[in-house]
A and B are shown apart, each in its own frame.
Chain A
């Protein structure tokens, strides 16, 4: 398949280890605080709640002795190949930046038609129904100055904390460097995760941890077969989780087993094939 982002210098991406994730929700909190995500009086109304980073609970659907539950965090996938939201945007408010691989969202350009929200196969986009940061009530003091708060009537989504990339670049310039190093630019969720389940880095740089992790056979992406080439990878050594990563017909899914490299790496960990 043709790759759209081959000529870019950087390709920032994320690997989320589902086996490490405890479902604590710190990533959601850190993301909301970093990115000035709107908080409303009634956050239980999930149809209207904005969560750039969202935790989903999954289970293998079996009875007690074999029942198993896991959580997976879902940011914007930052699709690398014809992102569906970018293709449908009528206002060119969202674009794939070939130089960083980040799918941008410009709130002042968005007209709020919500076409992108319908197009996104991952449900990563959210619509602002209200203005939530009134200027006169002092709530704006809690905002991150580097992230523009959204107005009502626009769509927003995870930006891979691109303001942190800007901050890292600015620091590098102050120290007379042109390039930033691994670990200088990480997203808020990756930094906050207490289990260190989220790894963030440049997928184009073979030195970075993420580009090593994505070569692992147990690494998968969500809805990989629709060809959007997400830059958010998931990692799990449990077969039923990998199976949930896509809509497989009965018998279509082939478990990742008997691969010599994987066996060697993971043979010491008991219980892998029990489920």
Chain B
């Protein structure tokens, strides 16, 4: 009779026959380990697909703007009278202007559009968007229900004049480049909060290696820019909150 303790291991043992590995201890079963790791990787890939692709697709809804405003066309000084400016911000301020008390008019009302587009019968250009604009809004004197990409929550106070005029910050630093857009991007809305995705940012990882701010407009981005520009006193709560 063989001594069961001293007899060589049989293939019926867990893991089967395998040469002893130098790296792994003898009791560790490589096959089972490989199985566990592969399950983990599969789970990670599955969770990543859910978290990075499926969930954002469900969370955000996309809305087109009521009419397609062509920024590139309107910023052409050959086509639009009086839009000359040395800096880009000055050109933006032609429509998105400051009021006399320093507050920012934001997206202008129809009144500003009809300074040029005054007659609904004779459009200035040939685009279908302008035709819609003329027949639907100018003729009926109806305000265009723009969807504001950068609309902040109610508790946020932001002074445009402090940043654009006193701080010499370009509009595109926060809003991204709109000046060259021939087509307005889709308005992406968070179904739960109702806020625009431009506030939260499109990058889910949240890492910004090139310190680009235009992707999102969160409190931390404001604070980081304040700190970088040596304006730390403006990180106090009652500067941006109301």
Interface residues of A, Cβ cutoff 8 Å to B: 95, 97-100, 102, 104, 106-108, 146-149, 159, 162-163, 166-167, 169-175, 178
A174/B101 in contact, CB under 8 A: yes
A100/B238 in contact, CB under 8 A: yes
Q: Mark B146-167, 1 if CB is under 8 A from A, else 0.
A: 0000000111010101100110
Can you sample 24 A-B contacts with CB below 8 Å? A95-B237, A97-B236, A97-B239, A98-B233, A99-B233, A100-B238, A104-B241, A106-B155, A108-B241, A146-B242, A148-B155, A148-B241, A149-B154, A159-B238, A166-B159, A166-B242, A170-B101, A170-B161, A171-B102, A173-B159, A173-B161, A173-B162, A174-B100, A178-B166
Q: B102 — which chain A residues lie within 8 A by C-beta?
A: 170-175
Chain B interface extent, by class: 20 to 34
B101/A163 in contact, CB under 8 A: no
**Assuming the A-B contacts A170-B101, A171-B101, A174-B102, are A106 and B157 also in contact, with contact meaning beta carbons closer than 8 angstroms in the complex?**
no
Interface residues of B, Cβ cutoff 8 Å to A: 98, 100-103, 153-155, 157, 159, 161-162, 165-166, 233, 236-239, 241-242
Q: A171 — which chain B residues lie within 8 A by C-beta?
A: 101-102
Whole-angstrom distance between the alpha carbons of A106 and B159 in the complex? 18
| The 7 A-B residue pairs with the shortest CB-CB distance in the complex, in nearest-first order | A174-B102, A170-B102, A104-B238, A104-B237, A97-B236, A148-B155, A173-B161
Q: B233 — which chain A residues lie within 8 A by C-beta?
A: 98-99
Q: A159 — which chain B residues lie within 8 A by C-beta?
A: 238
Whole-angstrom distance between the alpha carbons of A166 and B103 in the complex? 10
Q: Smallest distance from the beta carbon of B22 to chain A beta carbons, Å?
A: 55
Given contacts A104-B241, A174-B161, 16 further A-B contacts (CB under 8 A): A97-B239, A98-B236, A102-B238, A104-B236, A107-B155, A146-B157, A149-B154, A163-B242, A166-B242, A167-B101, A169-B159, A170-B159, A171-B102, A173-B102, A174-B165, A175-B102
**Assuming the A-B contacts A173-B102, A173-B162, are A166 and B157 also in contact, with contact meaning beta carbons closer than 8 angstroms in the complex?**
yes
Q: A175 — which chain B residues lie within 8 A by C-beta?
A: 102
A106/B98 in contact, CB under 8 A: no
Q: Smallest distance from the beta carbon of B49 to chain A beta carbons, Å?
A: 33
Across chains A and B, the number of contacting residue pairs, with CB separation under 8 Å, is 66
Q: B101 — which chain A residues lie within 8 A by C-beta?
A: 167, 170-171, 174
Q: A172 — which chain B residues lie within 8 A by C-beta?
A: 102
Q: Smallest distance from the beta carbon of B222 to chain A beta carbons, Å?
A: 14
A174/B236 in contact, CB under 8 A: no
Whole-angstrom distance between the alpha carbons of A166 and B161 in the complex? 11
A97/B242 in contact, CB under 8 A: no
Interface centre among B154, B155, B162, B237 (most CB of A within 10 A): B237
B242/A147 in contact, CB under 8 A: yes
A148/B161 in contact, CB under 8 A: no
A174/B98 in contact, CB under 8 A: yes
- CB closest residue in chain B, given A94: B237
B103/A106 in contact, CB under 8 A: no
- CB closest residue in chain B, given A92: B237
Whole-angstrom distance between the alpha carbons of A74 and B239 in the complex? 25
Whole-angstrom distance between the alpha carbons of A30 and B94 in the complex? 37
**Assuming the A-B contacts A170-B102, A170-B159, A173-B159, are A108 and B242 also in contact, with contact meaning beta carbons closer than 8 angstroms in the complex?**
no
Q: Smallest distance from the beta carbon of A181 to chain B beta carbons, Å?
A: 15
- CB closest residue in chain B, given A96: B236
Q: B236 — which chain A residues lie within 8 A by C-beta?
A: 95, 97-100, 104
Q: B153 — which chain A residues lie within 8 A by C-beta?
A: 108
Whole-angstrom distance between the alpha carbons of A241 and B121 in the complex? 74
Whole-angstrom distance between the alpha carbons of A24 and B237 in the complex? 34
Q: Smallest distance from the beta carbon of B226 to chain A beta carbons, Å?
A: 12
- CB closest residue in chain B, given A159: B238
Whole-angstrom distance between the alpha carbons of A174 and B161 in the complex? 7
Interface centre among A146, A148, A178 (most CB of B within 10 A): A148
Whole-angstrom distance between the alpha carbons of A138 and B230 in the complex? 43
Whole-angstrom distance between the alpha carbons of A111 and B130 in the complex? 49
Whole-angstrom distance between the alpha carbons of A74 and B162 in the complex? 33
- CB closest residue in chain A, given B241: A106
